[in-house]
Chains A and B, each alone.
Chain A
């Protein structure tokens, strides 16, 4: 009995040892050299695997970083400048600082401003509705409101607002990975430079129709009147195809265009309320909770009361 156990142990040990020796030599023979810096760089990356850099994941991006000689076109939007500096240290290079960006939705066509003209009852994704027709409102440029962007956001930075039917970007969570930009079939998301105190001024419209037509279907559409272009002291606003665009690089947040815009298509976010008698409601709303979102909705209330006055 004992003999059997001894033989078994001995034979298995010998077998194991021989296999180990063979494996050792095979491993030496077929060894693939991998730059150890790849692991270090990967560890420095945020491991979000969001694809915001244009690569399939953080590992692929780390490989690309190590392989390339400089940082041209390589930037991790999630980690931002801090991460890029850390990587530059590992690789012994100079990091090129880039301005941090944030996504904004260039449509303010909430249900109240943009009434529905048809009923859509197909599959509830924006991509399918966009493939079928111009959308259930008269505006064929605006938000379809099924939340394809919310679905793709890995950072919980996008939510649908049930009142307006539009997605809302959470500035603090947004990493500007660009997933929503790709997902939106209407190209409504724009990555803009983050400005101080998360303040933003942008044209919340992508409608390229002529003024009358745009206004017919949406009360807050950009009608291409170019008043904002004239009033801007910094040449930050350009007009293309009946649509204004504010360059976030040039904009100095003076807010002149916001007051000038006849349709309230230009939105200001994150500013303290203006001291105007008519904007009392705005002041109160802003005082209770000074988050950027509330100011957006307060601003919308402002617009709707203005509209009612017009009527």
Chain B
């Protein structure tokens, strides 16, 4: 009997069109647009000026404070301007524009594929290196990794969980990474275990990726403290709290952090980025991204530089299909439509999905029939049918009582609702307002 989380969950059609395909490297983009806010927390502050020559891997914006991340140039060339541009958030935000010239990397960065297994760095040095390299959670939440690696005083991490679940339909970036870079991921895990001072690491992978499970199991056999845990397919197993519940059968308390129950979770993409930063001295300037869609000629997994416009790799995947309704950044469940194809890829973009118009349109909203399907699928045990009207009517105190802040925004409720109600939209709205109220209460 395979493990999975107990509460709720759904089974959307998987549609993993690019599963099992290798990683292709895209030709260098002519221009890159690097947003200054690619992570949760304070936007980074630019340290280059217009007209400066930069090399790939050079720091171009410094993290502002602890919960922030450095940003590096992903190409070598000239900074043409620092201006606002619409990014994946849908708003104009400050970005650094670089015109590519050649592919010159900063000295000291190892670009080869040679595997380096041992590290002599101390835990503190590893965390400092991760911070310097601007690594953030690559699963999509983009939380700065050095913050997660620095376990708060008085708390102790027991387990390092590696998230190779990739429960979002369509996406295969993590799958491709696990197949291609298994050895590197193992070294990355050992580095992170050292930084966190834990003795046990578990990699959670859903069993629709049996080749990745076999591959990583074979490599993990060399290490006695790394284990691969196959999981039953269920969305949203890739959520941090759901993964902990599935693998360790522990529950993160409401309002708490995973480290409260001794677990720290990282995505496989993040682990690989940590490996590259610590062993190869290479900052986070590239990522694996899935470009997919039923109408797309050639769904693929690409290794792209941060800041590449989305249109560049839609072109590489066979061009934009004629009937495209929406371009989604991320997967179909938690992703977000972008406003045009020129928005740049950021550290947290795991996929680009092209949906045909008939699938992308929202359906007509009907009255709630009180079927409670949303309650039964909510992985956090919330009552979406109740939270939506509370949010509509600005009843923030009751929203707080009903634990709206526990919502992980997985979208299961909106997916299952037979009346097509925009449950998550309203819950998210209520969550933002309640979050603001709580913050102002704390500060006063």
Contacts and interface: CB of A to CB of B under 8 A. Distances in A.
Given A117-B339, A121-B362, A134 B92 contact: yes
Contacts, number: 41
A7 interface: no
A122 interface: yes
B444 to A, nearest CB: 16
Interface stretch (A71-79, A123-131, A272-280): A123-131
Given A118-B339, A140-B91, A140-B92, A134 B425 contact: no
Given A134-B86, A140-B92, A128 B425 contact: yes
A133 interface: yes
B294 interface: no
B429 interface: yes
Given A121-B362, A122-B362, A209-B92, A134 B339 contact: yes
Interface in A122-174: 122-123, 127-128, 131-134, 140
B422 A131 contact: no
A133 B432 contact: no
Given A117-B339, A118-B339, A121-B362, A134 B90 contact: yes
A69 B410 CA distance: 52
A132 B92 CA distance: 13
B428 interface: yes
B89 interface: yes
Interface string A293-308: 0000000000000000
Contacts of B428: 128, 131
B361 interface: yes
Interface in B56-90: 84, 86, 89-90
Nearest to B365: A123
A117 B89 CA distance: 16
B346 to A, nearest CB: 15
B426 interface: yes
B429 A128 contact: yes
Given A121-B361, A123-B426, A128-B422, A133 B89 contact: yes
Contacts of A117: 339-340
B90 A132 contact: yes
A3 B89 CA distance: 86
B298 interface: no
- Interface of A, helix, strand, loop or mixed by DSSP: loop
Contacts of A133: 89-91, 337, 339
Interface string B427-442: 0110010000000000
A122 B90 contact: no
Given A121-B362, A122-B362, A131 B432 contact: yes
Interface string B292-317: 00000000000000000000000000
Contacts of B92: 134, 140, 209
B325 to A, nearest CB: 9
B336 interface: yes
A140 B84 CA distance: 12
A8 B92 CA distance: 83
Contacts of A127: 429
Contacts of B91: 133-134, 140
B179 to A, nearest CB: 35
Contacts of A134: 86, 90-92, 339
A15 to B, nearest CB: 43
B354 to A, nearest CB: 15
Contacts of B362: 121-122
A131 B425 CA distance: 9
Contacts of A123: 365, 422, 425-426
Interface string B402-444: 0000000000000000000010011011001000000000000
Nearest to B88: A133
B360 to A, nearest CB: 8
B159 to A, nearest CB: 35
Nearest to A118: B339
A246 to B, nearest CB: 25
Contacts of B432: 131
A65 B422 CA distance: 43
Interface string B327-365: 000000000110110000000000000000000011001
11 contacts: A118-B340, A122-B425, A123-B365, A128-B425, A131-B425, A131-B429, A133-B89, A133-B91, A133-B337, A134-B90, A140-B91
Interface of B: 84, 86, 89-92, 336-337, 339-340, 361-362, 365, 422, 425-426, 428-429, 432
Ranked nearest first, the 5 interchain pairs of A and B with the lowest CB-CB distance are A133-B90, A123-B422, A121-B362, A123-B425, A128-B425
Given A123-B422, A123-B425, A134-B92, 13 more contacts: A122-B362, A122-B422, A122-B425, A123-B365, A128-B422, A133-B89, A133-B90, A133-B337, A133-B339, A134-B86, A134-B90, A140-B92, A209-B84
